[in-house]
Structure 1
Amino acid sequence: MVNDLQEHNFRYQQAYSNRGFLLAVAYLSLMVIGCSQKTAVNPPANSNSASQVVSNNQNSEKNNVVRLGYQKGGIIPISRQRGDLEKQLTAQKIKVEWTGPFDRCATLLAALNGNRADIGGCGDIPTISGIASGQPLCIGSVQRPKADSLGSAILVRGDSHIRKPADLIGKKVAVNQGGAGEYLLLKVLEKENIPKDKVQRVYLSPNDAAPALYQGSVDGWAVWEPYISIAELEHKARRITTTHPAPTYGVMVVRGDAAKDHPVAIKSALTALSQDGEWLNQHTDAAADFMVKELKVSEAVAKQATKNRGPESYVFPDANDIAKLQKTADWLLEQKILPKRVDIAASVCPLGTTATR
């Protein structure tokens, strides 16, 4: 992602004489942990061979490692900077490894699917899409949606004549396919009673959508923070939506085998991430400082993005969360965004958890 940000910035500097565009992905990342195992000392003569004892030692060491996959942005890279999570898990004899950064949820989920990470933070839409495609993932903890959040928006250029969603009829809007951007656009059109085929969706990654908007290749862009604040403060873009008509969940996604084989360790890691989030909620200036360091954005962008996103509170999903996520999954199926129905209750990690608050 660092390379993507640099490449993106270089492209902007070529197209404009103003400041470069820096990207970050709003970001999923994930860990695999195993329970501690004691190995035999001075095994009896009729025990397994010494080579098997060595193998057991190696398995024990491997099972005590948690791999946290991260994008640029979100709670996981902040936890990496802060250091408390690693200390807490080390005290429980769990070694933490960090893998990333990944450029977007799709590549992070692919890392989970390929056993290169165990826990990672994504949005609910790409998570549900990943599960529907057959990836062995489960939902560990969730960040509940906030109705008044300004963390997502449809943006237009500052000099655009587009002022409201109805003005998008006959226009092109950049979205990430099967992700939060496409979901936002479709929900806005639904709320405004605008047939979805009246607005052309152009499938672009955020890295490509921003220059497409600024150069006039598309008329709008459905996106999230911190892209919104970068676009508004550094490129004079303007939002035509305020709050989300169907706010989305954040999700800590877990590799299915890790959750099944090492539920206690996975739960410990998710709990530590939640505690880091609660600390940041009480120290918003620190949260903005972490964003400046992680994303290399300006202090103004970091402060606005932090305020727009709101609290970083993760909890274990309860029955109400499951019902709301199921409603989202069923709607995605109706819109033919998913290839098949996803059973959310069956997709929650088997950690024996209940909501933390």
Structure 2
Amino acid sequence: MKKIGLLSTALILALSVIAGCSQGGSKASTIRLDYAYYSPLSLVIKEKGWAEETFAEDKVEVTWVLSQGSNKALEFLNSNSIDLGSAAGAAALISKSKGTPIEGVYISNKPEWTALVKADGSSIQSVSDLVGKKVAATVGTDPHIFLLRALDEAGIAAKDVEIVNLQHNDGATSLVTGQVDAWAGLDPHMARVELENNAELFYRNVDFNTYGFLLARNDFAKKNPEKVEKILAVYEKARLWTLENMEEATAILAKEANLSPEVAKKQMERNDFTQPVPGDAQRNTITEAGKVLQQNQIIKSDVKLDELVNNLIQPSFAEKVVK
């Protein structure tokens, strides 16, 4: 009886080990990606099924998570809920300064996706008019950083403006309903209120927009470099396809984000898809944003900014893929 008991115990242990290995193998055979309405290439890839097609022969399952803003994508990356995510460069810098283990491996778009927006009929004419006003922004995202840089350029302290922290779509609604005086907007919501509600972009500066980055978790990139290269190859396929098929790419954006064709077209017109490899242009833009973020104590003053930026921007994967 003792022998039977020992055999049963051994069998149970063996089955547990096999089950554990099976679960680990399942986890290792998955790649977790995000898609975002501010990242048109991610929408094209998801719609076309190119990621699933690429990883099918390796029996790697692709799972998708919607990022509503850079802040959400960075939360997913920090919590190890996704392996690669889409976020603005300056927002990624803030997150990395707080310990999020990420690296920017690809530039999905150079957008003018943010500007300062006022409602139809508003008396606001310039950034200077924002003193004492309520301005909606999603804290920690490119629109928020854009707002801080615009205020700094105008010689206005952030404390002289009441920044109302709202997710992007709620900020758009608050502007239209008069709950705030202005909004640091983000496409496609910005394009929508511009066309449907006669909102006006009263301050624009394309150089304050800090690029759309595809970010990888450090540990995932280190352990799975071949997967990172494969997904970047998929992004590169989508980028080249989009440049040749802008009308269809715009239709995909409209469908996924539930936009009118006119709104989707305006958003796509504000995107440049010709600079996929991260490099000096992104370093310079993000460094300048970082200086303002340190002035506003969002990034600690003792952080070595140049070192932080260099650790964030990792072009090696894109250099292998982009021809």
Structure-2-length-normalised TM-score: 0.83
Residue 318 of structure 1 is aligned with which of 279, 285, 302?
279
Q: 1:199 Cα deviation (Å)?
A: 2.8
Matched, 1:76 2:42: yes
2: distance between equivalents of 1:134 and 1:311? 30
Q: After alignment, is 185-194 or 222-231 more displaced?
A: 185-194
Q: Deviations over 1:79-106 (max 9, x none)?
A: 1102233323334x26242232233322
Question: Secondary structure of the equivalent of 1:224?
Answer: coil
Residue 186 of structure 1 is aligned with which of 148, 161, 165?
148
Q: Is the 8 A contact 1:212 1:218 kept in 2?
A: yes
Residue 192 of structure 2 is aligned with which of 230, 239, 249?
230
Q: 1:156 Cα deviation (Å)?
A: 0.7
Q: 1:150 Cα deviation (Å)?
A: 4.1
Residue 289 of structure 1 is aligned with which of 251, 256, 279?
251
2: distance between equivalents of 1:338 and 1:274? 32
Q: Which runs of 5+ in 1 are unaligned?
A: 1-48
Match of 2:232 in 1: 270
Q: Deviations over 1:194-223 (max 9, x none)?
A: 444433322222232122212222110011
Match of 2:202 in 1: 240
Match of 2:175 in 1: 213
Change (3 A) 1:326 1:159: closer
Question: Which residue type is aligned with residue 43 of structure 2?
Answer: P
Q: How many residues align?
A: 304
Q: 1:276 Cα deviation (Å)?
A: 0.6
Alignment of 1:8-157 (within 5 A): 59-74=24-39, 75-91=41-57, 93=58, 95-143=60-108, 145=110, 150-157=112-119
Q: 1:183 Cα deviation (Å)?
A: 1.2
1: distance between equivalents of 2:315 and 2:208? 27
Q: Which has the higher helix share?
A: 2
Matched, 1:335 2:296: yes
Match of 2:212 in 1: 250
Change (3 A) 1:282 1:96: farther
Change (3 A) 1:353 1:303: closer
Q: After alignment, is 294-303 or 208-217 more displaced?
A: 208-217
Structure-1-length-normalised TM-score: 0.75
CA RMSD in angstroms comes to 2.7
Q: Which runs of 5+ in 2 are unaligned?
A: 1-13
Q: Deviations over 1:291-317 (max 9, x none)?
A: 121011111111111112x23346232
Q: Is the 8 A contact 2:107 2:213 kept in 1?
A: yes
Match of 1:346 in 2: 311
Q: Is the 8 A contact 1:175 1:201 kept in 2?
A: yes
1: distance between equivalents of 2:77 and 2:244? 31
Q: Is the 8 A contact 1:274 1:313 kept in 2?
A: no
Identical columns (%): 23
Change (3 A) 1:64 1:319: farther
Q: 1:352 Cα deviation (Å)?
A: 5.6
1: distance between equivalents of 2:274 and 2:117? 26
Q: Deviations over 1:259-306 (max 9, x none)?
A: 111112112212211221221122111111001210111111111111
Q: Is the 8 A contact 1:65 1:97 kept in 2?
A: yes
Q: 1:243 Cα deviation (Å)?
A: 3.0
Q: Is the 8 A contact 2:193 2:199 kept in 1?
A: yes
